[in-house]
Amino acid sequence: MGHRMTRTITTQVCIIGAGPSGLLLSQMLANAGVDTVVIDRKDQAYIEGRIRAGVLEQGTVTALEEAGVACRLHREGLKHTGFELAFDGDRHRIDLTALTGKTMTVYGQTEVTKDLFAKRHADGQVFLFNAQNVTPIDLTLDQPRVNLIHDGDAITVRCRHIAGCDGFHGVSRRAIPPDVLKTFEQVYPFGWLGIMVEKPPVSHELIYANHQRGFALASMRSPTRSRYYIQCDVDEDIANWPDDRIWAELAIRLGQDAAANLLTGPSFEKSIAPLRSFVAEPMRYGNLFLAGDAAHIVPPTGAKGLNLAVADIRLLSRALIAHHKDHSDHHIDTYSRTALNRVWKVERFSWQLSMMMHQFPQHSPFQRRMQRADFDYVSTSETASRALAENYVGLPLE
Ligand code: FAS
Ligand code: PHB
């Protein structure tokens, strides 16, 4: 099909993906005077409409503060000093702040994305939304390019570096030659059914519950808006889960105390997400850098997906700013190894907590007892609970 016109845009860094990774990277680079173009195959409304993460590490809050987009977060975010683990009705509180000196902030990824879009538009950021046929090329040349179709025009973005922030289903990871790319994956035999409801949460803190009927999580977005998840079959038909059935299941899995305080109401968002652990190595090929879900996926059990993406961006923005402002490539040359060192430790934590807190169809009675022993050990050992807490609040950047 003929195109209306072809045109070339030149920038320093071409960012593929306008999710939290791409948006935060463009903000951090702009603050340092590095020019970017941000491409997304969707539009802003679609991106803002995706309901995803809800809990921010202190390091993520610091990154958003440094980027200049944390004002509303500080006004509306809920600071948490702990969360609870429940096992067949027994509950134990992990006092994050007593154990690590840190806090977590409940503030939805949707809100983070809206705050970043507002700031990027205020700064005059160039976005290419609804982009088609996005194709990164010449990755090993000093002037790589990204070809795309936008509003019927064939566009070439010429740049010095490409940031692949295009998520698990993006094109960036696939641009790395198969003989260079190594991937690692574990798919879990269940999914998470999530609902949002305009009711106060069952508890002022999060509750992660392992019950013989399956995992459940009580979370929130505000003092009046709750977020709940229950473990379900990975190929479950959501039509099998009317609200009443979800509320009944939550009451059982969260335990009697929670059941007594569960405020039910009509859900206004209901979806099933599969769970997987995934890592792609390396996170750099030539002048292409992967960050966030483009490079790795964690099961949401440890609330790490968004936080791990932000950690990548803190490292990648430091590397690109050092190149473009100080003509130093040390951080660029070490980005992949530094990021992957942390990625694998966060993958470990997310995998371990998922193995501890879910019902696995193929588990033997012995393995189920090991899960209970994990819970009893964490509940009675300050050393074990501190190890869990230091992972949950966020490991050091490097
Ligand atoms: P994203 O996937 O958010 O953004 C990638 C962007 O790239 C998208 O806007 C996409 O449109 C664009 N893109 C894709 N292909 C492209 C192409 N070819 N060209 C141009 N653009 C392209 N994390 C948690 O911590 N807690 C949770 O509870 C949680 N729940 C989740 C539920 C679901 C259903 C999913 C899918 C993820 C969840 N996550 C959760 C993880 C999630 O928050 C991610 O970690 C986070 O969105 C990562 O951000 P990005 O790396 O920006 O990737
Ligand atoms: C959420 O509120 O969406 C949430 C919180 C903690 C998790 C996962 C999801 O571990």
Per-residue pLDDT tens over the stretch 168-178: 999 999 999 99
The finding on whether 167 has its CB within 6 A of some atom of ligand 1 is yes
pLDDT of residue 286: 98
296-297 and 267-281 as β-strands: parallel, antiparallel, unpaired? antiparallel
Please compute the mean of the pLDDT values over residues 23-33 and round it to a whole number.
98
Tell me the per-residue pLDDT of 234-274, one tens digit each, with 9 for 90 and over.
Answer: 999 999 999 999 999 999 999 999 999 999 999 999 999 99
* 126-128/36-39 β-pairing: parallel
Which residues carry out catalysis? 80, 208, 300, 304, 392
Write down the pLDDT at residue 95.
98
Q: Which atom of ligand 2 is nearest to the CA of 106?
A: 2
Question: Ligand 1 centroid to 361 CA: how many Å?
Answer: 28
pLDDT of residue 3: 62
* Arithmetic mean of pLDDT, 328-335: 98
Which of 112, 204, 217 has most ligand 2 atoms within 8 Å of CB, for mutation? Answer: 217
User: How many A from CA of 364 to the centre of ligand 2?
Assistant: 28
pLDDT at position 6 is: 87
Cβ contact 231:246 at 8 Å: no
Portion of the chain with pLDDT greater than 70, in percent: 99
What 3-state class would DSSP assign to 275?
strand
110-148 pLDDT, tens digit per residue, is: 999 999 999 999 999 999 999 999 999 999 999 999 999
Q: Which ligand has the minimum distance to the alpha carbon of residue 108?
A: 2
Tell whether ligand 2 has an atom less than 6 A from the beta carbon of residue 299.
Answer: no
> Are 330 and 322 a contacting pair, CB within 8 Å?
yes
Residue whose CA is closest, atom 35 of ligand 1?
A: 52
pLDDT band at 5 (very low <50, low <70, confident <90, very high): confident
Q: Is the CB of 394 under 6 A from ligand 1?
A: no
The letter for the amino acid at 131 is A
pLDDT tens digits for range 42-100: 999 999 999 999 999 999 999 999 999 999 999 999 999 999 999 998 999 999 999 99
Nearest Cα residue to atom 7 of ligand 2: 303
Residue of the CA atom closest to atom 2 of ligand 2: 54
Going by alpha carbons, the residue nearest to atom 41 of ligand 1 is 305
pLDDT above 90: percentage of residues in the chain: 98
**pLDDT at res. 2:** 67
pLDDT, tens digit (0-9, with 9 covering 90-100), for 349-360: 999 999 999 999
Structure tokens at 334: 């070490």
* pLDDT at residue 207, as a whole number: 98
CA of 17 to the centre of ligand 1 (A): 9
Can you tell me the distance from the alpha carbon of 89 to that of 256, in angstroms, rounded to the nearest whole number? 7
Verify cis geometry, omega within 30 degrees of 0, for the bond prior to 144: no
Q: Which residue stretches of 213-294 are H helix?
A: 243-254, 256-261
Query: Domain map of the chain by residue range?
Result: 6-53+108-185+276-355
Q: How far is the CA of 17 from the centre of ligand 2 (A)?
A: 23
Residue minimizing CA distance to atom 10 of ligand 2: 303
- Ligand 2 contact, 303 CB (< 6 A): yes
Written as one string, the DSSP assignment of 169-230 is: T-STGGGS-TTT-EEEEEEEEEEEEEEEESS--SSSS-EEEEETTEEEEEEEEETTEEEEEE
Please tell me the predicted confidence (pLDDT) of residue 1: 56
Cα of 55 to ligand 2 centre, how many Å? 6
Q: How many CB atoms lie within 10 A of CB 16?
A: 31
The full length of the chain comes to 398
Instruction: Supply the CATH classification number for the domain 6-53+108-185+276-355.
Output: 3.50.50.60
Task: Please check the confidence at residue 396 and state whether its pLDDT lies above 80.
Answer: yes
